[in-house]
Each structure stands twice: as structure tokens, then as C-alpha cells.
A and B are shown apart, each in its own frame.
Chain A
Amino acid sequence: QKEVEQNSGPLSVPEGAIASLNCTYSDRVSQSFFWYRQYSGKSPELIMSIYSNGDKEDGRFTAQLNKASQYVSLLIRDSQPSDSATYLCAVNWSGGSYIPTFGRGTSLIVHP
């Protein structure tokens, strides 16, 4: 069974620090990877997508993918209290599947 694992946290970092969120997945037959942010009581919203090995940067966010080690990470630079949320990792599997698998999410707290 394909699985996506995340540390539930909470991960607590001071304002201005780098927050590092990690995600591992169980199957090498994976195609695309997504990070969603979910504020309490709200629905998930897409932060980053990454499809090939290496880093992808978008503003303060950097996604890192290592398919050989089966992990994907999200770095948030200059963390702000408004970044406090749950971050969901999602993996889409190849083979024509329509089914993304979500991790449980990591709770991030950025304290002033």
C-alpha cells in the first residue's frame, strides 16, 4: 500500500528562522509531489509542486525532491507567524492513477 509519512509535530520555530518540513513516501513509482498549506478551519491551498529531482524555489519557499531516497521537503525561509498552519504533503503516483495520497500533515508554529 502506497503511503506518505510526515512528522505530525508541532514544529516550533522562532520568527525569521528557517522551517524545514519533511515527507517520505513508500513507492518509487511516483510522479508528482505537492505541498499544501491548511490553516485551522480552512481548506488546503497549494504552496508548491515539484516533479523532478532537485530544488524548486518560489519566494520564501523551496521544495526539495530526492527520488532515490524517496523524500520531499519544504523549506520556509524568514518564517512569519502567518506561516503557522498545517502543511500537507501529497504524492501522485504514476500509471494513470487519479489518486493522490496525502500525509497526515505537519503542524508548524512560528512564534514571535
Chain B
Amino acid sequence: ETGVTQTPRHLVMGMTNKKSLKCEQHLGHNAMYWYKQSAKKPLELMFVYSLEERVENNSVPSRFSPECPNSSHLFLHLHTLQPEDSALYLCASSQDGRGYNEQFFGPGTRLTVL
């Protein structure tokens, strides 16, 4: 595997389900990000981890819970979601997040909440 991978690529879940999104980066980067992308809206940053420490939580509802066990893996745990949470969820990584570094994105998970 190369770059940034995400699983699953598609997910349909009910409002009472619990599911997790997984992201893995194979670039040796130290910062990882979760974004939400809804139609006609800009990318919304959800969480940032640098060296496994959460450095940003952008007022995201508690029904989204991130986990970063090491610098290569990032999870987004989902529970009791709402239909408006349906979106493309993108994971990204960068060398260290200190401004000069571009981000590399995974292919995304298309989430549909029924």
C-alpha cells in the first residue's frame, strides 16, 4: 500500500448504529487530519493529530470520536449519527502540520446515514 488509504470506501448506517472509519498513511508523516466534505460546502476540518496528540478539535459533535493509536493510523468512531452527517469523510496526512507542508488525502469514505 502507498499513500493514504481509507476503509471502508462506502458505508450506509442507521442512526442507532455504531461504526468506525479507518485511515492509514504510508508516508512517514507525523500529522493526520479528518475532514468532512458535504455538497456545495468547503472542506470542514474536524480533527488534527500531531505525533498522536490531538491538537485541534473544531467543535465537532460528540457523536464523532477520533482515535490515533500511532502516527500511521487514525480512526473516526461514529455513533447515533444524524442524516445530516451524510457526507464524504476524508483523511489526510502531512509531514508535521507546521504550515509549510502540503496535505495528502486518502480516497475518502462516502457515508450515508438513514
Chain A positions within 8 Å of B, measured between CB atoms, are: 4, 31-32, 34, 42-46, 49, 51, 88, 90, 92-94, 96-100, 102-105
- In the bound assembly, the distance between CA atoms of A93 and B98 in angstroms comes to 9
The distance from the CB of A49 to the nearest CB of chain B, in whole angstroms, is 5
B41 engages A104 (CB within 8 Å): yes
Which of A31, A43, A97, A103 is the most central at the interface, judged by chain B CB atoms within 10 Å of its CB?
Answer: A43
A88 engages B99 (CB within 8 Å): no
Chain B positions within 8 Å of A, measured between CB atoms, are: 31, 40-43, 45, 48, 50, 55-56, 90, 97-108
Cross-chain contact of B56 among A49, A93, A99, A102 (Cβ < 8 A): A99
Known: A49-B102, A92-B99, A93-B99. A43 touches B43 (CB 8 A): no
A44 engages B105 (CB within 8 Å): yes
A32 engages B100 (CB within 8 Å): yes
A98 engages B97 (CB within 8 Å): yes
29 contacts between A and B (CB under 8 A): A4-B42, A31-B99, A31-B100, A32-B100, A34-B103, A42-B108, A43-B90, A44-B43, A44-B105, A46-B103, A46-B104, A49-B102, A51-B100, A93-B99, A96-B98, A96-B99, A97-B99, A98-B48, A98-B55, A98-B98, A99-B45, A99-B48, A100-B45, A100-B103, A102-B43, A103-B42, A104-B40, A104-B41, A104-B42
Which of A4, A46, A94, A100 is the most central at the interface, judged by chain B CB atoms within 10 Å of its CB?
Answer: A100
Per DSSP, chain B at the interface is loop
A45 contacts which chain B residues (CB < 8 A)? 105
B108 nearest CB neighbor, chain A only: A43
Q: Which 6 A-B pairs have the closest CB atoms?
A: A98-B97, A43-B105, A102-B43, A31-B99, A92-B99, A104-B42
The distance from the CB of A29 to the nearest CB of chain B, in whole angstroms, is 11
A93 nearest CB neighbor, chain B only: B99
Cross-chain contact of B43 among A46, A49, A88, A97 (Cβ < 8 A): A88
A102 engages B105 (CB within 8 Å): no
A96 contacts which chain B residues (CB < 8 A)? 98-99
A4 contacts which chain B residues (CB < 8 A)? 42
